[in-house]
Amino acid sequence: MIAIKLITFSILLTSITALPTTDLESRIAHDGDWTCKNTAGDLQFTAAHIQATLKKAPITPGSSGYPHKFNNGYDETSHARIKGYTSIDFRAKPCNKAPTDKTYLMEFPIESAGKFYDAGKKPKADPGPARVIFHYPSKTLCGLVGHESGNTGPLNFCEAR
């Protein structure tokens, strides 16, 4: 009887721990590399590097100023949608909700494989063209965005390839 309960508990525990945190995190884990289109050359990021960057990203700004709020078409003060602004449609549920004073999106630079942006140091003149976007305070991964031309211009959603 004890053996049956132990086996049942083990199976239940295995199935619970195998569930992805979010649909997007599951997709990133299975889709592999991601590409951010950029006129200066497309940017490539592995799923492992995206996850590692998210894990290392603090939830409060460091000396560098990162992470900081990512408004995605909402006014920072009133939280109203800005007219004429096309926001990025993220796939993770909490990432498309209007921000409040307590919940909002944050952006953090993602660098090339093996390198991580140091939020605790003086800001870099060029933090790079790509950002990991996450929901505050849950730290749910929303996605990866990149500037379309060098480190300037609008941010666009990067896609799995």
Predicted confidence (pLDDT) per residue in 54-113, tens digit: 999 999 999 999 999 999 999 988 889 999 888 899 888 899 999 999 999 999 999 988
Domain count, the chain: 1
Please tell me the distance from the alpha carbon of residue 53 to that of residue 131, in angstroms, as a whole number: 10
Contact status, residue 83 vs residue 140, Cβ threshold 8 Å: no
Q: Average the pLDDT over each of 4-8, 35-39, 68-72, 79-83 and give the range with the smallest value.
A: 4-8
Burial class (CB in 10 A: 0-12, 13-18, 19+), 34: buried
Nearest C-alpha neighbor of 112 from the set 48, 45, 41: 45
Q: How confident is the model at residue 114 (pLDDT cuts 50, 70, 90)?
A: confident
Q: Does 147 qualify as catalytic in the annotation?
A: yes
Predicted confidence (pLDDT) per residue in 120-158, tens digit: 999 988 899 999 999 999 999 999 999 999 998 889 999
Q: Is 15 inside any structural domain?
A: no
Of the listed 76, 79, 147, 159, which one is catalytic?
A: 147
CATH number of residue 127's parent domain: 3.10.450.30
Of the listed 25, 68, 111, 148, which one is catalytic?
A: 68
Q: Does 76 qualify as catalytic in the annotation?
A: no
Range of the domain at 61: 21-160
Quote the pTM value: 0.80
Q: Does 49 qualify as catalytic in the annotation?
A: no
Q: Which residues contact 55 (CB under 8 A, 6 or more apart)?
A: none
